Amino acid sequence: MPRFFSATYDEESSDDDLVSSDEELLYTSEEETSEEELLEEEEKSQEPEEEDEESDEYWGETSSEEEELSSSDDDDFGHKPRGRSYFLKKSAVKGSGVESEESEEESEEEEQAEGKKVVKSAKDKYLDEIADLVDEIENYSMVQDWVNIGTRFDKLLKLVSKYPQHHIAIPRQYVKCLAILTQTLEDYEAHQKESKRKLNASESKSLNIIRQRVKKYSKECPRELKAYHDSPEAFLATDGSISLSVTPSVAASREASKAPATAEDLKKVFFNALKAILETRGKRNVDQREQLSTLLDLLSSAKTPYEQISVLLLAIAIRFDLHAKSNFMPSAEWKLALADVNKLLDIINANRKYVVTETAVAPDDIAIEPKPNANGQVEVVGSIASFVERLCDEITYHLLTLDPHSTEYIVRLRDESSLYTTLLRVQLYYERFISASDLQKPQGAQLVRVILKRLESVYYKPTKLIIFSEMNSWKAIDASENSWVYPRLSGDLGPQKNLQYTNGLVDSLCSVLYKQTNSAFRKKAVLCHIYNYALNDQYYKARDMLLLSHLQSSIHTADPQLQIYFNRALVQLGLSAFRKGLMHEAQQLLQEVVTSSRQKELLGQGVQRFQVQQSQVDKQRLLPFHMHINLELLECSFYTASLLIEVPLMAEYDDYAKRRQSSPKAFRRVLEYRERQVFDGPPENARDHVMLAARSLGKCDWKTAANLLMKIQIWSLFNNSEEIKHSIVSELKIQGLRTFIFKNRASFTKCSISSLSEMFELTESKVKAVIAKLIRNDDVHALINLRSNTVDFTQGEDCRANKLQQLVLNLSDKCSQIIERNEKLSIGGYQIQLDIKKFGQGRSATVQGRK
Amino acid sequence: MQSEKKQHEAPQPFELSDTQLEMARKYDLTDKFVHFLDRHLVYPLIENLEFTHDPKEVEEWEYELLKDTYMTKFVEDKWLGLHPGEELPKEFADKQQKIQKELVSLNDSTKKTLEILSSQEVQENLKQDKSYNREYLSKKHGIDDAKIYELYKFGKFQYNRGDYVMASDLLNNFRLLSTNQELNFSATWGKLAAEIISFFWNEAMNEFNKLREIIDSRNYQGTTIDQLNKRTWLIHYSLFIFFNSNFTATDADSSEDSESEEKQEADKKKTLDERNKNLSSMIDLFLSSSYLSTIQASCPWILRYLIVALLQTRQYKRLRDIVRAVDVETYEYQDPFTKLIESLFVTFEFDNLSDLIEQISVLIETDFFISNLDAQKLVLNMQELIFNTVTKVYTGLTEENLCKMFNEDLPVVQKFLEERKDQVSVAEDGSIIVKTQTPSTVYQQVYEKTKAFNFKTNQILNTAFNKSDY
């Protein structure tokens, strides 16, 4: 799911964001690696002999194609199955802040295999490229060829923006280039008046661009520039030096770690071991379990909070790595990961100086603790938000593989509550340094992601359950902590207040998400919001919200996952309308999903049987069983609502089948199907019951219909099932009465109201009201006689036209329509185009003729 | 100005039972209106509450309402009324002093400007073009933007002090000169309120239309929500205009001069027509899609006034729209008026009509806006509406049935029937028979439908050919 966001995030942000946002870089780099991996694996299996060449070529191209690659990645998100390793890598990168340098190892291997071929690492290549560009720019700047400098400088900036991927400091060559350009610009300006050489348009344009850019980018690295100015040679010499230049083997590092020495040595050994693991992350043929146990050893020897944090960040990431290839993370492992996250939170909470955030600057050397920033906080690169997101996803994957009716499923589901506590803790942790005004910044995005996860684990639950988990979670959290998003729950408040609390909770979680510029957050939030309101029987509020969101018009273009959210909200709204007794609304809302042959797919509750191949993406859309909406209940509600609407209509119009084109055919089709059955067995499922009830209501026998409907077991799934049953019955009576009137209007002249009231067990005034409505709407030609307390039907033969007369009436109606249209046309200025000459003759002829 | 307000009230004495009082309080809309009206406009509404609430309480509200305004004299009176036998606190004097000082300073600073503006020469030189005017004034007379802004400030101050005529004058002058859109907009609001309070309905109508134009214009500056709020405000303001315009300031004068009865009668008829015209334009406005959705979204209680206006003007062709709106909003807002519409046209349950009518008659007396209308006529129209609806569905109605439905005595009903002698007759058994048109025969129908065809077709042909003759 985080992947979904990253993709949409990329999609929505405009191109110029691409350079500036660090976060994005993390994402893009991430996608590439996973892509690369896949590609390589494929190649390996298919054509092993060509491997070297292929991969080499591939690497050669990356730098120039990177831009393209990442963008195309975004575009076909959702179509290309990509495997779960994606998540792992992301969290891994975020956790350690270190890019896995696969290529390096590869090139080493190649070197061994071929001997002669000189292969550079990706980083070296990258630096060389920059150096080349800088050389060119330097040359051009001697002659002040602004156009050429402009194009080169563009390329350079594009390249340089990727330096964090290679985990190096700002390339020194680039700094040098900036310095040179600044110098050149100054020179140019100083001599401009003397030289008097006019620049042509394109030249002056690129000059301006360069000037602005140089100014902008110089501001970003004033320190480096100063260092360069102080001593250019010394500065350039260290270009590309990165923290991981030494590559001690894992075994060596372990040995080293076992041999204690002085404190300083110990620290050095400690971080060397850490680096070693960092280095080998994501490579093949590495025993991750061994790494993990090394890390755990290290953790026990870690002294300072910074060391502990660094080790834990890496350890959690590796835990996720372990199960990247399997379908789900075993429960035991998951719990360990959760415990680690909690431990991490404990450490951070105990040492408030340290802040783990995605937006921190990647350090040159992890062994050196970063300097505290202006607020006295030490920022460490890492993303706890991604960890909890990952934990949420993993538990979902596991639940999906389990049989929902087994005890195992329930046991696993219990872990959700501890996860919820952790979610809350993480939210509180982020709230500490992210204020309400920061929510739109990249830093705030972490908090927003956590809040979305919290919303997602809350919105589908009934109030009781939410209160329960809220209470448990708050209990586990230190009493002094509180949230500015939504305050702590003090205790069980009684049903009314509880509902208020949960409403408030969902409201405030959503309102944070509504403020996001990324519309994916907003849409998801509003759909969860609607779902929750509908679930709590606040139909009108939910409906208004759905209408105001204007999502209906655009939802068909949204990605499948959002469509599932939409369908779920829609269906829940329909059920809510049904519970309120608003049958027309319920029918309309439920119709589309219920009558579809792909119900399960639409609601994300399963896939069609004939779909043999199930891609990863399809699987990701599925929801675990405890979030499902009962399909039978849906169907039952829909058909019952249809029954109450359609049966009187069938009685009203003889040509119902032809007439009601727009009405849902599903109900009629099912009904007809049953009528055709030779052998009509007793009702078995809910639908059978409804259909039989429809048939008896058609015969105006509302009592049998009511009995049949009451027999349906599934109503008990509604909270207030008795009330709902009651309202169904009273509605049945009314519709039975209407059906009766429609059926018999042709044969009766008078009908006693008291007997009607007896027959349908309605009060006389209700009977009158129902009939009055029919009369008023001209459905029935009758009058209610108060004196004799009867309904008098006016049967006049004369006012009923026979077939021919009806046709004539229709014809005259159509004619008058045509005339009206013609009138409109002539008013609108349309004229008959005639040859005026000819027309004039003709006209004068007729005039003459008339004379 | 205070006397003006009092005069405007013209309280009619009537007694209400406890249950009726409770009813009137329950359906009182003042607390809803408070959010959408200016302080000064709320005052008459609160004053109107005297009929249904404890006078003491009302006085307190009035004090609370106005204590932040600059109408010190008035506020003092109120305070003394609330705390009989106590000395005025010192703050009052301080405040008055402060206000006096501000008044003097503003008066001084604007005096010259106003003098210049009213001088013959300047009047002649001013043109339609605002930027030209400004240039002219600043060059010749030294009236710059700051001076003009002072006019606005002074206008606001005068309004706050309760000198509405002056305020409206100042704001008008300001508007003529200023090019600041935003200030102009709020000056217009101020002027509208001032005109309403001083009963210059025609001017108020002009201001109202100006505001409407700005708010409804396609390129409205603010956000959608802002537009919605402004519209809600405008709807509430407009009720004063639409419901009160029978009572003009000149009207009040003329009643003092004892003129001939006939003329007064004619005047009355004229104002009645005028008001009906106003109300029907209100119906048209409120039922236009953007205003109807505003009413539905933010102030469903306005439906009451829509229904009343409909009953008053008997524009039943718009009934269908109102019925729909009432039906849609049932879940959010209900009062006797909407219930009446609902039971007549949605649920068709006529049994509770008498209760509703009773409640409505209380509201007609107590509601600030509705009490301005002709109550008798309103009730009569309502009865007619009920009668027409009911007879369409029922036959064999007796006079007693009608009595119950109308919540009236027998003679009233008999008189009602008497007035409709040509449509209604009473049969021997006491049931009322309504003469209905028997549906015409098919031949008749076809004839009716087709008889105009020939003429129309010829007409179309003629226009078409004549045009092509050009």
Query: For A602-647, what is each residue's pLDDT tens digit?
Result: 888 877 655 555 566 666 778 888 888 888 899 999 999 988 888 8
Q: How far apart are CA A525 and CA A531, in angstroms?
A: 10
Confirm whether pTM is higher than 0.80: no
Sort out which chain B residues have CB atoms less than 8 A from A799's CB and list them.
439
Say what the pLDDT of residue B151 is: 84
Chain B residues 338-367 with a CB less than 8 Å from chain A: 345, 347-351
Higher pLDDT: A613 or B151? It is: B151
Decide if A492 contacts A467 (C-beta within 8 A): yes
The minimal CB distance from A832 to the residues B349, B441, B464 is found for B464
Say if residue A472's pLDDT is above 50.
yes
Maximum alpha-carbon separation in chain B: 91
- Span B114-121, mean pLDDT? 76
Say what the pLDDT of residue A100 is: 42
Q: Where are the alpha helices (DSSP H) in A745-782?
A: 753-760, 764-776
- Span A17-31, mean pLDDT? 42
Nearest-Cα distance to chain A for B142, in Å, is 45
Query: For A238-276, what is each residue's pLDDT tens digit?
Result: 554 443 333 344 444 444 444 444 666 677 777 777 777
Say what the pLDDT of residue A848 is: 42
Higher pLDDT: B152 or A99? It is: B152
Say what the pLDDT of residue A227 is: 75
Q: How far apart are CA A463 and CA A453, in angstroms?
A: 18
Say what the pLDDT of residue A76 is: 42
Say if residue A775's pLDDT is above 70.
yes
- Span A160-176, mean pLDDT? 74
Q: Which pairing describes strands B397-398 and B431-434: parallel, antiparallel, or unpaired? A: antiparallel
Asked if B331 and A839 come within 8 Å (Cβ–Cβ), the reply is no
Is A128 in the same domain as A228?
yes
Asked if A775 and B442 come within 8 Å (Cβ–Cβ), the reply is no
With an 8 Å Cβ cutoff, the interface of chain A facing chain B consists of: 540, 765-766, 768-770, 772-773, 775-776, 783-788, 792, 796, 798-799, 801, 805, 808-809, 812-813, 815-816, 819, 822-823, 826, 829-834, 836, 839, 843
- Span A146-170, mean pLDDT? 78
Domain boundary among A175, A203, A236: A236
Taking the Cβ of residue B394 and every Cβ of chain A, the question of whether any pair is shorter than 8 Å is answered with yes
Taking the Cβ of residue B225 and every Cβ of chain A, the question of whether any pair is shorter than 8 Å is answered with no
Say if residue A70's pLDDT is above 60.
no
Q: How far apart are CA A253 and CA B255, in angstroms?
A: 108
User: How many helices (H) and strands (E) are present in chain A, helices listed first?
Assistant: 38, 5
Asked if B449 and A801 come within 8 Å (Cβ–Cβ), the reply is no
Confidence of residue B450 (pLDDT cuts 50, 70, 90): confident
Q: How far apart are CA A425 and CA A384, in angstroms?
A: 11
Say what the pLDDT of residue A608 is: 64
Identify the weakest region by mean pLDDT among A155-169, A198-212, A559-573, B250-264.
B250-264
Taking the Cβ of residue B223 and every Cβ of chain A, the question of whether any pair is shorter than 8 Å is answered with no
Decide if A724 contacts A579 (C-beta within 8 A): yes
Decide if B58 contacts B30 (C-beta within 8 A): no
Say what the pLDDT of residue A20 is: 42
Backbone angles phi, psi at A624, to 5 degrees: -70, 160
Confidence of residue B467 (pLDDT cuts 50, 70, 90): low
Is A34 a member of any domain? yes
Higher pLDDT: A845 or A441? It is: A441
Taking the Cβ of residue B224 and every Cβ of chain A, the question of whether any pair is shorter than 8 Å is answered with no
Say if residue A147's pLDDT is above 50.
yes
Say if residue B385's pLDDT is above 80.
yes
- Span A67-83, mean pLDDT? 42
Residue with tokens 């620290």: A267
Asked if A832 and B349 come within 8 Å (Cβ–Cβ), the reply is no
The minimal CB distance from A769 to the residues B347, B401, B442 is found for B347
The residue segments making up the domain with residue A824 are: 803-850
Is A470 a member of any domain? no
Say what the pLDDT of residue A733 is: 92
Q: How many residues does chain B have?
A: 470
The minimal CB distance from A783 to the residues B348, B394, B439 is found for B394
Q: How far apart are CA B456 and CA A835, in angstroms?
A: 24
Q: How far apart are CA A724 and CA A581, in angstroms?
A: 8
Taking the Cβ of residue B395 and every Cβ of chain A, the question of whether any pair is shorter than 8 Å is answered with yes
Name residue B394's beta-bridge partners: A784
Is A819 a member of any domain? yes
Confidence of residue A296 (pLDDT cuts 50, 70, 90): confident
Asked if B439 and A799 come within 8 Å (Cβ–Cβ), the reply is yes
Q: Rg of chain B's alpha carbons, rounded to an integer?
A: 28
Q: Which residues contact A490 (CB under 8 A, 6 or more apart)?
A: none
Asked if A812 and B450 come within 8 Å (Cβ–Cβ), the reply is yes
Decide if A551 contacts A543 (C-beta within 8 A): no
The minimal CB distance from B395 to the residues A785, A812, A839 is found for A785
- Span A164-181, mean pLDDT? 76
Decide if A30 contacts A90 (C-beta within 8 A): yes
Question: Percent of chain A having pLDDT more than 90?
Answer: 10
Provide the domain count of chain A.
Answer: 3
Secondary structure of chain A: what % helix, strand, coil (to 5)?
70, 0, 30
Say if residue A22's pLDDT is above 70.
no
Is A229 in the same domain as A137?
yes
Sort out which chain B residues have CB atoms less than 8 A from A823's CB and list them.
456, 460
Asked if B468 and A836 come within 8 Å (Cβ–Cβ), the reply is yes
Query: For A49-65, what is each residue's pLDDT tens digit?
Result: 444 444 444 444 444 44
Identify the weakest region by mean pLDDT among A215-219, B73-77, B251-255, B380-384.
B251-255
Is A129 in the same domain as A232?
yes
Backbone angles phi, psi at A738, to 5 degrees: -60, -45
Query: For B16-31, what is each residue's pLDDT tens digit?
Result: 677 777 778 888 888 8
Q: How far apart are CA B224 and CA A95, in angstroms?
A: 44
Closest CA to A557 of A78, A80, A82: A78
Query: Helix A2-12 vs helix A519-535: angle between axes, to the nearest 10 degrees?
Result: 130
Closest-approach residue (CA) in chain B for A580: B331
Question: Percent of chain B having pLDDT more than 70?
Answer: 87
Say what the pLDDT of residue A60 is: 41
Q: How far apart are CA B465 and CA A237, in angstroms?
A: 93
Identify the weakest region by mean pLDDT among A650-654, A756-760, B387-391.
A650-654
Q: How far apart are CA B147 and CA B138, in angstroms?
A: 10
Distance of CA A46 to the CA centre of its chain: 36
Asked if A799 and B347 come within 8 Å (Cβ–Cβ), the reply is no
Identify the weakest region by mean pLDDT among A422-431, A704-713, B116-125, B222-231.
B116-125
Is A130 in the same domain as A232?
yes
Sort out which chain A residues have CB atoms less than 8 A from B332's CB and list them.
540
Say what the pLDDT of residue B16 is: 66
Most confident range, picked from A704-718, A827-841, B2-16:
A704-718
The residue segments making up the domain with residue B450 are: 442-470
Residue B200: which H helix or E strand, with range? none
Say what the pLDDT of residue B268 is: 66
Question: Percent of chain A having pLDDT more than 70?
Answer: 73
Identify the weakest region by mean pLDDT among A278-282, A608-612, B275-279, B443-447.
A608-612
Is B452 a member of any domain? yes
Cβ burial of B126 (10 Å; 0-12, 13-18, 19+) is middle
Domain boundary among A55, A80, A105: A80
Distance of CA B348 to the CA centre of its chain: 30
Backbone angles phi, psi at B394, to 5 degrees: -105, 150
Confidence of residue A282 (pLDDT cuts 50, 70, 90): low
Is A682 a member of any domain? no
Domain boundary among A236, A264, A291: A236
Higher pLDDT: A437 or A647? It is: A647
Identify the weakest region by mean pLDDT among A44-53, A285-294, A390-399.
A44-53
- Classified as helix, coil or strand, A751 is strand
- Span A292-306, mean pLDDT? 80
Query: For B210-266, what is each residue's pLDDT tens digit?
Result: 888 888 887 777 778 888 888 899 999 988 888 876 554 444 444 444 445 566 666
Is B306 a member of any domain? no
Say if residue A97's pLDDT is above 60.
no
Is A26 a member of any domain? yes
Number of other CB atoms surrounding residue A218 within 10 Å: 16
Is A196 a member of any domain? yes
Closest-approach residue (CA) in chain B for A774: B393
Number of other CB atoms surrounding residue A44 within 10 Å: 13
| Mutate which: A808, A836, A837, vs B, most B CBs within 10 A | A808
- Span A453-480, mean pLDDT? 87
> Please, what is the average pLDDT of chain B?
79
> Please, what is the average pLDDT of chain A?
75
Is A14 a member of any domain? yes
Higher pLDDT: A689 or A249? It is: A689
Most confident range, picked from A218-222, A520-524, B220-224, B246-250:
A520-524
- Span A823-829, mean pLDDT? 72
Confidence of residue A99 (pLDDT cuts 50, 70, 90): very low
Provide the domain count of chain B.
Answer: 1
Residue A793: which H helix or E strand, with range? strand A790-793
Query: For B167-213, what is each residue's pLDDT tens digit?
Result: 888 888 888 777 778 888 888 888 888 888 888 888 888 888 888 88
Confidence of residue A27 (pLDDT cuts 50, 70, 90): very low
Say what the pLDDT of residue A663 is: 58
ipTM: 0.73
- Span A663-681, mean pLDDT? 77
The minimal CB distance from A826 to the residues B347, B348, B463 is found for B463
Cβ burial of B364 (10 Å; 0-12, 13-18, 19+) is buried
Is A667 a member of any domain? no
Is A130 in the same domain as A76?
no
Decide if A337 contacts A316 (C-beta within 8 A): yes
Asked if A839 and B465 come within 8 Å (Cβ–Cβ), the reply is yes
Most confident range, picked from A358-372, B326-340, B416-430:
B326-340
